Amino acid sequence: MALSEDLRVLERNLKMIIEYTTITPDGKVVETRQLVARVDNIKLEIYPNEHPPPHFHVNLSSFCASFSILDGEQLTGSLKSKDLKKVKKFHKKNRDMLIEVWNDLRPSDCPVGPIKR
């Protein structure tokens, strides 16, 4: 029984590695996005090489949107009102963590640098 659970965890982790990384022509493994959290069926992600303003992405099966990390305002996309409430609540409780992940993912050549607190 324990082995089967271990295999499920391994499978989930491998799927995330495949989904969230790419290999450059010179053989480097590069993160293409960071899964920040899951809230029910909602995935919240931050991508390393981004455009201004600092933001995070929200992905559901049929909806996607982006939100400002600084104030939680919706920048693009559309969500159902119940999902929008969940994202706003998550942002309010986790703004500092979102800033930390954003700052940790900034490559040196990113057009948007770290968020200053």
pLDDT in tens, 75-90: 999 999 999 999 999 9
CA 80 to chain centre: 19
- Give the per-residue pLDDT at 20: 60
- Residue 91: pLDDT band with limits 50, 70, 90: very high
Torsion sign over Cα 58, 112, 76, 83:
positive
What span, in angstroms and rounded, lies between the C-alpha atoms of 20 and 48? Answer: 11
Relative to beta strand 55-59, strand 64-68 is: antiparallel
What is the pTM (predicted TM-score) of this model?
0.74
Domain ranges of the chain: 1-31, 33-117
Check residue 92 and give its pLDDT: 97
Of 97, 85, 90, 81, nearest to 38 by C-alpha is 90
As a whole number of angstroms, the distance between CA 53 and CA 77 comes to 15
Q: What is the pLDDT of residues 26-60, one digit of tens each?
A: 776 655 667 899 999 999 999 887 888 999 999 99
Residue 106: the pLDDT is: 79
